[in-house]
Structure 1
């Protein structure tokens, strides 16, 4: 009897549409370059939809190889002069501009964009107060699109090597920042058109203007990117908070819960947080099953920013207790990646791999905000059951998981695959066999939170599931959100 599909439009995704190609892009060095390659081929329109943008970032800090200026702001102005048929639409979370006031030249560059007839900059405030527009989407001509967890802003660029003290890892101010792990996707075909429609819908919500879709534009694919999948259906899943006459959408949460419930052998996750009680409870339920799956979570050592650390790390402490109490069969592990010199690598990627069946990549985290309060977008692919084509997709999904583990463990992909196979498919046993000094995965051991941290974590101001219901709470949330670090 065939297993019913996990992905179901109207339940845990918005649409399932075909992609001619889909590639997983690891780290912002590859992402920034691929985005610029795609934009250089634009004929009609470019949509940049995101939580934050910094016009001073370099596409290629290691040395420019592509046409046009190497920084985002000058490149968009160059595009305005050299691509007269192309309109660029930049949609940024409205609270991001408050943070931008401390970002040197960014506000001046924004004002410069606004003088152009073809570069359109808007702040997105079409969400509940203190909610965030957290999608990270780029669409070029509706023929190629990027969707994932990477923001085109400062402190994001890194390579898969995650070198200690990499001199190219610098803020626009010149100050260094630490190693950063992130992920996105690039797709073409019908799914790129769907993401274009989503971007235009978001633009209309934000500013009331309806944009015309491009027509008959030639195919585009970034030259530096090798597809992970070819000719594959792709699901688009969203989180949209209730706002005015707009209904709430919780497809992403439903997809997480359905994927956890449907897993047979291994759930592998990378997330910035571990703070969603519903996800933790779903994992705990599977860990109680005698024949349930292994669950491996890759997290940063600590959340980024004081208030986020207080809230998210304290929530993680509590939820890990819930999960560990349920783990009678010892099938749960949570790790933090470290560099060759032992420095923690910040995990910003949002990835889930379920068995050899499902791959999900997007902007949503394991926290309450991503389930119903912020605006999110994820993509997912599922291997078809019982088909010859399914074997190729399943092999590619497993290849993604092995590739990610190889990066974290400082190992070869083949070495990871062999270690898993030699241990009967146990990813946990393979990780433990390959862990060692230097570049590796380190078991996460939470510190017990202080009383003030417990008190703050009890309050849902920083990580609500739904919009607060009364004004004073909203204002307090807003003030705290402004103080938060990067998301």
Structure 2
């Protein structure tokens, strides 16, 4: 059992009791459903993601459903290769698509408080007003959550045949390539103002797993609007984007959720349970990429493994700092407390936390939410490693597992390590083969391999300073990162500081 050291805290975080050899993905416990994906592919960074979504939308026949935290109609889907005869910005592109396909219906569901940013954005409100009155293009707001909670899922479902689910929002400040070039002229907001390098990840799935995400998205639409949407009339077999190489084929995918208690609905904490179960079973390496590093339950579980003489190495890739003064005060302060707690627990020197930088040393903002456990589990989703994502905000993650009983366990294991090595190669400006060779030389030690590959300057990973341990218990200062519904006034502070931070970015 993992229990908070914070005196009097009423939440208890318990790793699920999963028998040895059994799959980590247990429907009703660590995930909602396990469904087959005919093809599955992680997508890293928004430049390829926006392009691949555009290409798939061109073949949509019946239904497109966007579920998002924020939505900006002004973003360019592919600044390098616009399509002849079609607009290159999201809003006009979707409007043109609906005009071309009389049988197609497009729906967008956005967090209601995300509308504050939407209404401040140039032409976006004009498209929203048009779509509100349209029968085949519907824009709705999701307020079906308790005070202080955010609707944070990022899902696109097309004809129930192809779906994208992960951390990338269809909004501004997201587009970037895997090169993360300094001063990339394409990395500009619709206003024309430049922004910094941005790292993110999502997952594409085809087949029954996509249909399950369609079911989940329609249920969210029903809760938010009261409207029951019928599934599309027939599967569309020709949606997989050209040029997207699948990482795995015919593989089971776990769909894990966080949903808060609301109006009689029982809360769902599958994502928390999956993290705790995965951390508890890790043998060699726990690899994490995250926007934040502040979840109390995850910190406690990691500390327990660090105290073991033969526990796994733990590597975290994190942003240099959170965006906005209030957000940094909350998330940055929580990270400092968590790092101090882990430093005290790291008796055997197996913990490292890094921040990625560009060739000129500028910070790369990490927005990806990735967890890789040994060669067994890969999880990509919308859930941050903070308290909100474990119990208060609405989240959705996808996970694939190479459990010992799977007939293709070796292929799945290779896929997990291949993708993790690709991420490390991106951060270290090297090749996946070089990462794999370094791991062989260090007998599988990811920490020693990364230290051997890190540079002192240029595109690389830089250590984040580990604070000296103090007596501050985990969980203090959770005003803006609660595990349950927060007071309405603190929720308002959280929302408006984020919106004003956006306004200051131009």
| TM above 0.5 | yes
Q: Deviations over 1:175-195 (max 9, x none)?
A: 000000000000011100100
5 Å matches for 1:162-181?
162-181=180-199
Q: Deviations over 1:301-355 (max 9, x none)?
A: 0011111101000000000010110000100000000001111100000000000
Give yes or no for contact 2:340–2:467 (8 Å, CA) kept in 1. no
Is 2:226 the partner of 1:208?
A: yes
Is 2:101 the partner of 1:101?
A: no
* 1:482 match: 496
User: How many angstroms does 1:395 deviate by?
Assistant: 0.6
For residue 463 of structure 2, the aligned residue among 443, 460, 463 is 443
* 2:86 match: 68
| C-alpha distance in 2 between matches for 1:218 and 1:252 | 30
SS at match of 1:430: helix
Is 2:384 the partner of 1:365?
A: yes
Give yes or no for contact 1:2–1:386 (8 Å, CA) kept in 2. no
User: How many angstroms does 1:67 deviate by?
Assistant: 6.4
Query: What is the aligned-residue RMSD (CA, Å)?
Result: 1.8
For residue 437 of structure 2, the aligned residue among 410, 418, 422 is 418
| C-alpha distance in 2 between matches for 1:341 and 1:297 | 22
Give yes or no for contact 1:276–1:368 (8 Å, CA) kept in 2. yes
For residue 198 of structure 1, the aligned residue among 206, 209, 216 is 216
Is 2:320 the partner of 1:306?
A: no
Give yes or no for contact 1:179–1:346 (8 Å, CA) kept in 2. yes
User: How many angstroms does 1:298 deviate by?
Assistant: 0.2
Give yes or no for contact 1:99–1:482 (8 Å, CA) kept in 2. no
User: How many angstroms does 1:476 deviate by?
Assistant: 3.1
| C-alpha distance in 2 between matches for 1:403 and 1:115 | 45
* 1:246 match: 265
User: How many angstroms does 1:246 deviate by?
Assistant: 1.5
| C-alpha distance in 2 between matches for 1:415 and 1:156 | 29
Is 2:352 the partner of 1:333?
A: yes
* 2:12 match: none
For residue 362 of structure 2, the aligned residue among 336, 343, 357 is 343
* 1:285 match: 304
User: How many angstroms does 1:223 deviate by?
Assistant: 1.1
Give yes or no for contact 2:340–2:466 (8 Å, CA) kept in 1. no
| C-alpha distance in 1 between matches for 2:84 and 2:375 | 37
* 1:85 match: 103
Q: Deviations over 1:215-247 (max 9, x none)?
A: 223212011311011110000000000110211
Aligned length: 477
| C-alpha distance in 2 between matches for 1:334 and 1:196 | 36
User: How many angstroms does 1:3 deviate by?
Assistant: 1.8
5 Å matches for 1:35-54?
35-54=53-72
| C-alpha distance in 1 between matches for 2:216 and 2:406 | 31
User: How many angstroms does 1:387 deviate by?
Assistant: 5.2
| C-alpha distance in 2 between matches for 1:99 and 1:130 | 17
Is 2:162 the partner of 1:148?
A: no
* 2:281 match: 262
* 2:417 match: 398
| C-alpha distance in 2 between matches for 1:443 and 1:134 | 29
* 1:111 match: 129
| C-alpha distance in 1 between matches for 2:84 and 2:315 | 39
Structure-1-length-normalised TM-score:
0.95
| C-alpha distance in 2 between matches for 1:305 and 1:224 | 37
Give yes or no for contact 1:272–1:347 (8 Å, CA) kept in 2. yes
For residue 120 of structure 1, the aligned residue among 124, 130, 138 is 138
Task: Mark the CA change 1:409 to 1:67 in structure 2 (over 3 Å): closer, same or farther.
Answer: farther
Is 2:374 the partner of 1:355?
A: yes
| C-alpha distance in 2 between matches for 1:132 and 1:36 | 27
SS at match of 1:95: helix
| C-alpha distance in 2 between matches for 1:351 and 1:477 | 27
SS at match of 2:408: helix
